[in-house]
Structure 1
Amino acid sequence: MNEYLLFLVLGIGTGALYAALAQGVLVAYRGSGVVNLAQGAVAMYGAYTYYELHRAGRLFLPPIPNPLSLLEGVTAWFGADLSLPDIPTFVGIGGGSMPVVPALVLSLAVAAALGYAMHALVYRPLRTAPPLAKTVAGVGVIIVLQSTIGLRFGSDARSAESILPDQPIHMLGGIVKADRLWLAVIVVAAGIGLWALFRFTVFGLAARAAAGNEKGAVLLGYSPDRLAARSWVLSSVLSAAVGILAAPFVTLSPTTLTLLVIPAIGAVLLARFESVAVATIAAIALGMVDQLLILLLRKPQFGWLPSNGSRELLPLLVIVAALFARGRSLPVRGSTEIERLPRAPETRRPVRLVAVLAVVFVVGQLTLGYEWRQALTVSAIGTVIALSLVVVTGLVGQISLCQMAVAGCGAFFLTRSAGDWGIPFPLAPILAAGVATVIGLVVAVPAVRIRGVNLALVTLSFAYAVDQLVFNNDDLVGSSADAVPAPSPSLLGYKFGPLDQLDDRGVPSVPFGIFAGVVMIVAVVAVVNLRRSNVGRSMLAVRANERAAASVGIDHVRTKLLAFALASFLAGIAGSLLAYQNSGRVEPTTFAVMTSLSALAIAYLGGISSVGGAITAGVLVAGGLSSTVLDKVMHMGETEQLATGALLIVTAIANPEGIAAALRHTGGVIRHLAGRRRTPAPVVEATA
């Protein structure tokens, strides 16, 4: 019995970390109505800021692309070597390591500035935007913060010194570090302070009033903008503080703290986004159960529990249970107006579009060198992924943050079915897409009852669980070193894998690039026809208003399930292409949680509601044509992720329909102006 109690006590530190992030999410939501998916990223940013200040007395600066990089790329084409001046990356303060207190104060000041910047530059312009725009803006913030840390510190984990007393405490037959317990005391005290703040102060009462009815708060003389700014600052400072305090016993890396927002949101959902006390208690309990699972997995009587993914599956179960128990999970704020979702226009001249794509891929694969042919292939696969998001998000309005996880299920099944079981092509990728479809239908079950940000939380936690439960579980997918690779795709004895039919230009082979282009074109034609069909119009009706659609006989449940099935089938096809591209092997990192977030980001940036937007997203995908241009022409490849996150935020604010819509609008203006120049002026005849 003492052993079980010991592991519960060991989980208090982890639960305290969850609780502090949950408090930050709750404070931001109370003030602005935004569920901040980047709360863990803010904690990570604050922890790295303190780490570098305390270690070396340096404050790192956000990376700014060198505007002269384009000039460097142009001169390189002519054989010249242009040396650019370096842009400062760190600012030295004090000439050495900084003491704990000044480093902590300065780090919290940076966090406060970050919180205000998030409010002023990101969420205030999106105050009346639909949930999709706010969600992708949060993804953009995560990408910007993570890429900033990656550029400054790399992806390797780091160890930080403990600020709190960390002497060992002997209890229950084991050892517990004191800093975990001190962190829990601090977080509970912070929870009591927040409860008093929202209960007794003018700011807290006004924030509660705005959360209940924003219009009423305006009529009473309270500024929602000012309340939101204070909430964002307080939320960021709170998260950064706990990130700094918890860094010694949590791996300090760009990903670990970022993903801890998932169990924190589960605790906030259990608190119905209202009670600080319930959120704090629920988060600490989640942390304690998380550590208890470590013990249970060692016990023979609990051998039925999956060795990988059980701990990551817990937040998913909590979130789904909380959403289904409540039904309408998030309180609705009375805003002055709400913008509409991006338009989903029909594709004009689809035959010409298909012809252009075919010519580009065939000519490009036959004439270009290795790097550009590889970029074309990656862009084709990225387009198929983006098309799956066009179906489920652009046509039906369901926010899915797990498309790459669904694609990964298809990819792993392909390697197992084709490599271990010997199922031939094309049956193996079709079966893999079918498995992905089944997985997508499982994800679609919550979508029958919930949507918007609620569904985004479910799909994000699903991707988080599948990453460990499936992709990193050797019992299910086998070790990547020992697995039998899937053989190259072949028809009538002709192999067209990336290592087959090679010429002097190297890999990937030209036939495989053309094969990827053909699959992409077939997917484009399928989605174009879907948008034009009665099914597509039913999807748009459900997206606009489910009740109105039901009143004219449209079954919104069946429509949502069909959309998820079609989108998952496309994702499974894309996963199969990725498996073939990697010589029949699959790496779990290809389908990690952050990859799913990046997929939504790229699809939204290109234009998530149109086929043209999906093609644009394929160009923008990492490793695609835009990456090659940035790296080889502009010498800015290392800042690609940072630029993607920043462009995503700008797109969500200024042009929700994406780059493709902006290009379409610009082309229409140019054609209109050209037509006016060609039209002769009307002749007016004189009359008597």
Structure 2
Amino acid sequence: MGQFLQFAFLGLSTGAVYAVMASSLVGVYAATGIINFAQGAIGLWAVYQVAALRDDGGLVLPIGTIPLTGGDDPMPMIPAIIIGVLSAVVWAIAAHLLVFRPLRTAPVLAQVVASVGLMLFIQALVQLRFDTGTLFALATLPDKTIEFAGAVVNVSDLILAGIAIVIAALFWAYFRLTRLGVATRAGAEDELAARLVGYSPDRLAAIVWVLTGAATGLIVILASFTIGLNVTSYTFYVIPALAVALLGRLTSFGVACGAGLALGSFQAIITWLTTKDWWPDWAQAGLGDALPFVVIVVALFLMGGRIPSRGSLGEVKMPAVRIPRVRPVPTIAVLAVTVVAIVITSGTWRFGVVTSVILSLIALSLVLLTGYLGQISLASMAFAGAAGFALSKLTVNWHVPFPFSMLFAALIATGLGVLVGIPALRIRGAQLAVVTLAAAIAIQGFVFNNPAITAYEGNIISDPSLFGIDLGVRDGTNLVTLRFSLMVLVVVAIATLVVMRFMAGSTGRAFLAVRSNERAAASVGINVAATKLFGFALSAFLAGIGGCLIGYSRGQLSAGSFTVIIGLVMLAMTYVGGITSVSGAFIAGIIGPLGVGYVFLNQTLELGEYYDLIAAGGLLLMAVLNPVGISGAVGEFVDRLTARRHVMSDGVSTPAVASPNTKADCNV
């Protein structure tokens, strides 16, 4: 019992971080209707800022550093904490003014991808601006212990839990007992009414952003000595925080705080249980990461219909969809250009071309599911990784030949996609994004990083062969063989053409109907549930084929090939390319991780270390300024030129007519 209690108390430090972040998420949602995926990243900057100040006294800015102590002398603890909290406030208010306020009436998709883009941007900036490999957190709370029921309890853990409770109580008091807080809640119910009585929802939201930024910055700074410094961990603490916030229906600070503390303790208890001899080997790693996903799914599936939405002004519409047409001449031209690029390149450049071809297929899975069906998914790379690791088992352990090994592995990813898509039967929008991101983290921790599940002879993948022809990726010193490159192109081309036929036919029309209005789609005989699950299945299958091709191109897989960050960057590139068009998927493949664009950035411009920052920045700009992406912008420009040419040739100005390739805007 003593050890049980000791680990339960040890988890309070992490639980306090969950609790305060969850309270902050509830506050931001009440003020803006936005689920802020970047809440953890805001705290990440604050904690590294304090670590840098207490190391050499340098105030690190996005560009440049200001020495505050003279020389390399460390800054005292209290001033460093104050500056760290203020830095979190600055990021929070900047997020409100520059990102989320312009997107106040934007589609949920734009708000979600902007939030994810901000998360990636801050994380990439932290890695560039701070020496994350050498900085460490110094103690800020008393280093004392007490004994309780046979357990040795750190006083600092109790203090952190107390601070989390106080912060939750202060948030509750602000929203319930103050005039501005009540006005903020009223604005969430009816924004127009709040404006009519003289309150600015933007200003009210700015106050909440300041308060939540300060709270998040403070708790991570105080807890950093206990839980350590890690760029990825702090960024994704937002997922367990969202899990407990959703338990409180994004309205209850008390439930969010209590559940956050309980979740942190329970994860620590699971860590203790894994040391027991009777604990199964398959559950030795990643179970704590999977727990928030289970909590989120249960909470959303049971309460998804009862989570309040924010009242807004006007009708919110999704970007227009361009229905694909399979035209022989453009298709042959694209294939010919790709073949030429493969033939004339070698080494790293050919690897970049092949990777771009593969990534275009994974991007197409996002276009299909998110752009066409309207189901926001952040787990495409998790599906790809599941197929890749399954391919290793199929080819090495069971000697399944190509192409059946790839098809079976993709079917495994398909099954996983259907399981992740089941919550979509009850929820959509930002809540579905939460589920899929939590699923991606759970799959990464519980499957990819679990030696009992994925490790088989180093996850080696046997080279493909067909009719006695070796299609392996390497031949001696040749990094990528011509045979392998052409095989990848053929597989991706066939899959793409088949999907384009689906998208242009009755299936695509059903997808667009569900995307536009689920009730209206059901009223005309469309099985909405089956359509959603089929969309998740087809998207996961495409991502699975892409994951298998990535596996074949590597020859040996590691969890690093399919991290959540890579998946989010892939989403960013797809949104930049154009989330609602097939050509957007091609652009995403070109500029995706390790693709041609990355090779050019890394080898020609020597800016490879800035890739994640550029990707996140591009996503933010597209989300705020150009939600249709590069492909959509080009299409709109061509449509305008065509319309102008018709007017000039006819000599008469005629009313604008929608292009036959363009789907009208659809409601969220």
TM-score, L = length of structure 1: 0.91
Tell me which residue corresponds to 1:510: 482
Q: CA deviation at 1:353?
A: 3.1
Contact 2:363–2:585 under 8 Å retained in 1:
yes
Q: State which of 443, 451, 458 in structure 2 corresponds to 1:483.
A: 458
Tell me which residue corresponds to 2:439: 462
CA displacement 1:418-474 (0-9 Å, x = unmatched): 011111111100100010111111111111111111111111111111111111111
Q: CA deviation at 1:6?
A: 2.1
Q: State which of 316, 328, 340 in structure 1 corresponds to 2:293.
A: 316
Q: State which of 550, 555, 572 in structure 2 corresponds to 1:578.
A: 550
Contact 1:604–1:648 under 8 Å retained in 2:
yes
Contact 1:407–1:573 under 8 Å retained in 2:
yes
Mapped pair 1:519 → 2:496: no
Contact 1:345–1:609 under 8 Å retained in 2:
yes
Mapped pair 1:369 → 2:340: no
Mapped pair 1:661 → 2:636: no
Q: Which aligned pairs between 1:529-678 and structure 2 lie closer than 5 A?
A: 529-583=501-555, 585-669=556-640
Contact 1:350–1:528 under 8 Å retained in 2:
no
- Which amino acid is the alignment partner of residue 308 of structure 2? P
Q: CA deviation at 1:155?
A: 5.5
| Whole-Å separation in 1 of the counterparts to 2:482 and 2:28 | 51
Contact 2:293–2:439 under 8 Å retained in 1:
yes
CA displacement 1:300-346 (0-9 Å, x = unmatched): 45438711222112111111111122131531111012321122212
| Whole-Å separation in 1 of the counterparts to 2:482 and 2:642 | 37
Q: Which aligned pairs between 1:154-193 and structure 2 lie closer than 5 A?
A: 156=133, 158-193=135-170
- Which amino acid is the alignment partner of residue 8 of structure 1? A
| Whole-Å separation in 1 of the counterparts to 2:276 and 2:651 | 88
Tell me which residue corresponds to 1:448: 425
Mapped pair 1:17 → 2:17: yes
Mapped pair 1:493 → 2:468: yes
Tell me which residue corresponds to 2:42: 42
Mapped pair 1:421 → 2:398: yes
Tell me which residue corresponds to 2:382: 405
Q: Which aligned pairs between 1:381-396 and structure 2 lie closer than 5 A?
A: 381-396=358-373
| Whole-Å separation in 2 of the counterparts to 1:484 and 1:130 | 41
- Which amino acid is the alignment partner of residue 515 of structure 1? M
Cα 1:461/1:489, change in 2 over 3 Å: same
| Whole-Å separation in 1 of the counterparts to 2:386 and 2:134 | 28
- Greater displacement, 208-217 / 605-614: 208-217
Contact 1:158–1:253 under 8 Å retained in 2:
no
Q: State which of 251, 256, 266 in structure 2 corresponds to 1:279.
A: 256
Q: Which aligned pairs between 1:210-229 and structure 2 lie closer than 5 A?
A: 210-229=187-206
Contact 1:387–1:523 under 8 Å retained in 2:
no
Q: CA deviation at 1:674?
A: 7.1
| Whole-Å separation in 2 of the counterparts to 1:131 and 1:519 | 34
Cα 1:392/1:332, change in 2 over 3 Å: same
Cα 1:484/1:45, change in 2 over 3 Å: closer
Q: CA deviation at 1:675?
A: 7.6
Mapped pair 1:203 → 2:180: yes
- Greater displacement, 420-429 / 5-14: 5-14
CA displacement 1:498-526 (0-9 Å, x = unmatched): 103x6x7x311122222222222222212
| Whole-Å separation in 2 of the counterparts to 1:338 and 1:113 | 31
Q: Which aligned pairs between 1:133-148 and structure 2 lie closer than 5 A?
A: 133-148=110-125
- Greater displacement, 629-638 / 655-664: 629-638
| Whole-Å separation in 2 of the counterparts to 1:642 and 1:167 | 41
Q: CA deviation at 1:215?
A: 2.2
Q: CA deviation at 1:154?
A: 5.3
Contact 2:12–2:265 under 8 Å retained in 1:
yes
Q: State which of 90, 96, 103 in structure 1 corresponds to 2:65.
A: 90
Q: Which aligned pairs between 1:233-252 and structure 2 lie closer than 5 A?
A: 233-252=210-229
Cα 1:420/1:609, change in 2 over 3 Å: same
Tell me which residue corresponds to 1:338: 315
- Which amino acid is the alignment partner of residue 417 of structure 2? G
Contact 1:411–1:576 under 8 Å retained in 2:
yes
- Which amino acid is the alignment partner of residue 153 of structure 2? V
CA displacement 1:156-177 (0-9 Å, x = unmatched): 4742101111223344434332
Q: CA deviation at 1:629?
A: 2.4
Tell me which residue corresponds to 2:3: 3
Cα 1:491/1:129, change in 2 over 3 Å: same
Unmatched runs of 5 consecutive residues or more in structure 1: 64-88, 683-688
Tell me which residue corresponds to 2:33: 33
Q: CA deviation at 1:407?
A: 0.8
CA displacement 1:375-396 (0-9 Å, x = unmatched): 1111111101001111111111
Cα 1:485/1:397, change in 2 over 3 Å: same
CA displacement 1:134-153 (0-9 Å, x = unmatched): 11001100111011011123
Tell me which residue corresponds to 1:69: none
Contact 1:132–1:399 under 8 Å retained in 2:
yes
| Whole-Å separation in 2 of the counterparts to 1:509 and 1:154 | 39
Tell me which residue corresponds to 2:657: none
Mapped pair 1:112 → 2:84: no
| Whole-Å separation in 2 of the counterparts to 1:176 and 1:240 | 25
| Whole-Å separation in 2 of the counterparts to 1:342 and 1:634 | 33
CA displacement 1:24-80 (0-9 Å, x = unmatched): 1111112111110111111111101111112111112215xxxxxxxxxxxxxxxxx
CA displacement 1:594-643 (0-9 Å, x = unmatched): 22222221111111111011001111101112112223333332222111
Structure 1 SS opposite 2:305: coil
Q: CA RMSD in A?
A: 2.0
Q: Percent identity?
A: 38
| Whole-Å separation in 1 of the counterparts to 2:179 and 2:58 | 38
TM-score, L = length of structure 2: 0.94
Structure 1 SS opposite 2:11: helix
- Greater displacement, 120-129 / 101-110: 101-110
Mapped pair 1:435 → 2:415: no
Contact 1:329–1:454 under 8 Å retained in 2:
no
Contact 2:282–2:453 under 8 Å retained in 1:
no
Mapped pair 1:121 → 2:93: no
- Greater displacement, 384-393 / 333-342: 333-342
Q: CA deviation at 1:668?
A: 4.1
- Which amino acid is the alignment partner of residue 191 of structure 1? A
| Whole-Å separation in 2 of the counterparts to 1:188 and 1:574 | 46
